[in-house]
Amino acid sequence: MDEQHKSALAERLGNALKENYALEGELGRGGMGVVFSARDLKLKRRVAIKVLPPELAYREEIRTRFVREAETAARLSHPHIVPIHAVGEADGLVYFVMGYVDGESLAARLRRRERLPPEEVRRITKETADALGMAHAMGVIHRDVKPDNILLEGTRRRVVVTDFGIAKALSEGGAGTLTGTGVVIGTPTYMSPEQAAGEREIDARSDIYSLGLVAYEMLTGDPPFHAATVPGLLMKQISETAKDVQELRPECPEDLAATVMRCLEKNPEDRWPTADALRRALESRVSVPYRRTSARAPYRSRPSGSPERPSLPAREGRRDPVVVAPPRPRGTVSRRAARSSDSEAAEGGEPKVVRKFRSHLASFVSVNGGLLLLNVVTGLDSPWFLFAAIPWGIGLASDYGRLWNAGYSWRDVVNRPPARDAVPAPLQPGRGKSLPPLSEPEPATGEFGRLEGQVGQMRGDRAAIAKVLERLPPTERNMLPDVQPTVDALMSRAMELARTLNALDSGLERAALTRLGDRIRELEAREGDPERDRRLDLLRRQREALGELTQRRGQVEAQFESCVLAVQNLRFDLLRLRSAGVATALGEFTSATQQVKALSADIDAAISAAGEIRELFGRVGRAIEAH
């Protein structure tokens, strides 16, 4: 933008806002806007005004998204987030007014200092994570975390994060990295692998990766990845592994280096689960045993690799096809379940790290409780039981620090998930009353055939969901009124579909194909005549029809498997929600519930299709018998 253009924009904005604000000068500019300092004439305070460039503002859809996302960001009230005072349009310009930060950006500080002291890096990263955690709880994802958007205010250099939600607003029209106008969303140097890969759905862990890149640069003086071109840089974000921080800066504390490197994991499920978990890790200063996975597992985008959530069958009319992913022994159904093998969930869905700590806690309480009782009996003049309790307690506190840094809390230790074979009556959310049982009676053995095990797994997951809802406080339970009815409805339909599939497997499919093949071979061995050719042609068409029906049956079974995965996924997400707090991740969990509801509607169509396939199998079988 040349000087004449700059002057024209400033003059135009000044005239449009002259009744309320007096422009003082330009503070900075970027791909998403120009920022001016100004004085609020009514409130007598200094403010900053960001305006969307005219070359973007002429697009109606971009103006609408800009304003909507700025309004969303205005709801964020936090000491480390720049406040937004007003959003509006004037003289064809879209703008928002935010608090003025008297200081410098982190980018400017890095240009002067190159590397920052480790303790300052810890503080800046912790305060930024605190701001991100609050924004994520409100459903706002930054998508452009970088040194330019982290401001350092005053002599204490208090962190103030700016530009919340703007990149997200502009990305809605494209595939995650470009808008319809071809403007890059985010900065390639600080993009997460999922942003670089063009994922449509970016969650809060993308911001955690970007913050890890910023912390890495503060510690080492340089971003981890460089390339001559933007595509080359994006490819490195996806596939290359950053050098360990301690290799480049040996004096960096071990816990800080490990915390930053975990942020830089290529697969989102291997990073810190939330920004709050990252903040707690930085505060605790506990070096958590950490096994890096990036070197052997580069990021794979969801369409071609493992989805974060098991994919569901595509509904008619969806824009993008969705592939049904088979169940895996470990990994994609939940962020917590996808961690390293040290935290791998047991069959009941409980992580190993939680079970181990509970076992240690039980031993501590039982042994020291017995020693205390014995000490009381023999006289408390000399509290000798403390000689064992104190060092043991210190070790237990250290274990709890590791548990906390892994993203778990005392709730996970106290509230043990139910066994898979415990099937209590589920509660009506918020009322404490039992829901009516499923309409189907307990099935007899063999009713579902080879699908019996998967139906049993769904029952166990349903029971676990009911138990978690029962343990939630009433206020939180009232925020999840649709969960249990949604699971029950999906399970009822899935069981009906399993019965239909089992009926298809009862003998017609293989027997019909065998008889059909025998008759075709018998006719092929005969001498040619018109009647033989007619019957042979008819039987071949019937074999082709039977093969197509068998293929359709496989597609219907894939939808049943999606039901199993969806309920399992909802169970793990509910466990995570309970640990983090319902209000923190309610938006994401509500989206998962809506996905299950959509699948339930799809299963109705699958049941109808399965019945049709069964009828067609019968017709083909009767035709085979007739010939």
Catalytic residues, by residue number, are 144
C-alpha to C-alpha distance for 389 and 336, rounded to whole angstroms: 32
Distance (Å, rounded) from C-alpha 413 to C-alpha 402?
A: 13
Contact 120, 113 (CB under 8 A): no
Spatial contact of 385 and 374, defined as CB atoms under 8 Å apart: yes
Count CB atoms within 10 A of the CB of residue 5.
12
Bridge partners, residue 28, by sequence: 35
* 3-class DSSP state of 610: helix
Q: How many residues are recorded in the chain?
A: 627
DSSP 206-264: HHHHHHHHHHHHHHHSS-S---SSHHHHHHHHHH--PPPHHHH-TTS-HHHHHHHHHHT
Q: Are 407 and 336 in contact (CB under 8 A)?
A: yes
Rounded distance between C-alpha atoms, residue 104 and residue 478, angstroms? 45
Who's near 572: CB < 8 A, 6+ residues apart? 333, 334, 336, 337, 345, 349
Cα end-to-end distance, the chain, whole Å: 81
289 CB neighbour count, 10 Å cutoff: 9
Hey, how many other C-beta atoms are within 10 angstroms of the C-beta on 255? 18
Angle at 470 between CA 410 and CA 599, to 5 degrees: 105
Helices (H), 352-429: 352-378, 386-405, 410-414
Distance set, CA 470 to CA 70, 430, 577 (Å): 38, 9, 14
**Kind of pairing, strands 93-99 and 103-105?**
unpaired
CA distance 148 to 99: 16
Are the C-beta atoms of 349 and 573 separated by less than 8 Å?
A: no
Q: Both tokens of residue 270? A: 């291997």
Q: Per DSSP, what are the bridge partners of residue 97? A: 49, 86
Where does residue 212 rank: exposed (0-12), middle (13-18), buried (19+ CB within 10 A)? buried
Determine contact, residues 298/266, Cβ cutoff 8 Å.
Answer: yes
Tokens of 499: 């019965």
CA Rg, the chain, in Å? 30
